[in-house]
Structure 1
């Protein structure tokens, strides 16, 4: 199966019903050997494009990963970005905000870690947590110490969606391109992966009681994701709903979408001026001597 990025893209203005988006599709590979070959090809091409991206120094690229627990965010980031020069790529994970971060607006802590031009920034969870987990657990919102008049739960989520879209539009106008991934995992597949984490000693560290607690809010999370994807997927900063029940296939889909995003930038290596060429020729003569 040939991977087409647009098959997984949420169109601007589309009302998302996650029940209609598959968590499993026909894989783009026929065997483990073919999967590895395809991923290696994607990684090699991505490495070449990242060097070009770094050299051209015109755009910044931000990749955002959101998902339920055990959907494979860490694995997708690790495998897809395995060939990228660490100097040109940074990964940031966002957990519960610190006391200092709570003293600022909800976009402040992530804005500090936005990628520079020529770099790729990866957010493992992001400012979108503020319209996902905070929406599912409104007690977190109350803990942010906002003025009472701003705590209208009928308005605050639309206000936050608007703030997010405004930020992403601002970043686009200043050369940052954003690609957002929701790794769409089924509840049953999550159950299986949790059991693996319990049964396999080397995976025990990945599991905590809090994971089971959050699993109990599955329906509420799906509703929060549907509202979020519907409100914040735009032409310039689209969401991609990636079927995540097959980890290997999800990695191939993610890598293809990233490749397509980089190729759309039409990057070129900086051209050397006539003056610079004369300088280099002079230096070369010295080195030859």
Structure 2
């Protein structure tokens, strides 16, 4: 066997190993979601059956009706939508201007700023919950939308800046030069010339920000304890009563909360992949 054939065979073997590993990973992630979806349609009698049934024998929508009505889940969905959409919009707006300044303007100290942003993005949330709670109590931000929007923006803006800055580095400078010759201001150049080229990175940062804020639990539980401002994760956690745990209602609420994220990823998957790969090798 020639050397080239041995190399091709080795590459194929590695690809097979990678494909098998990817399949196992997808299976490990999908099985809990499938079990949650199946269990949400089981009747009360099937939920306590031993051994448990794989598929519901008598599918029912009663758990979804209970979660969306009597448990107040519709209010939790509204609160999560307001908080997450607002935080995502602010992160994308600030991230676009910050990424443009750090990636395309001749600023000093860009390296230390990027390192500081990276450190902030990996900082554990639990380490700052207590001081943030004291600050929000002093500013009267507890049990309000802004009490969650502001810390969400602070925590997720650094990642958005990294994504947008690396993507903006790939845009040719000739586009800006042409806009400047035509008399466009820097802001007009950013919005009319740079923004259309940065859409994949914006979608990527937006999907990641929305997903992270939609599923965040610790700050939502700490800062918003009132019923009128609870978000979806906190609402699902509080479904349990003193004498019973309504597994069907919990699984139904979890499925209802998962659907927006799944739809978001499926709709913008190509833009997300493009945004992650654009500028991936930039420093």
TM-score, L = length of structure 2: 0.24
RCO comparison, higher one (Cα < 8 Å, 6+): 1
Structure whose residues are more often strand by fraction:
1
* Structure showing greater Rg: 2
TM-score, L = length of structure 1: 0.24
Structure whose residues are more often helix by fraction:
2
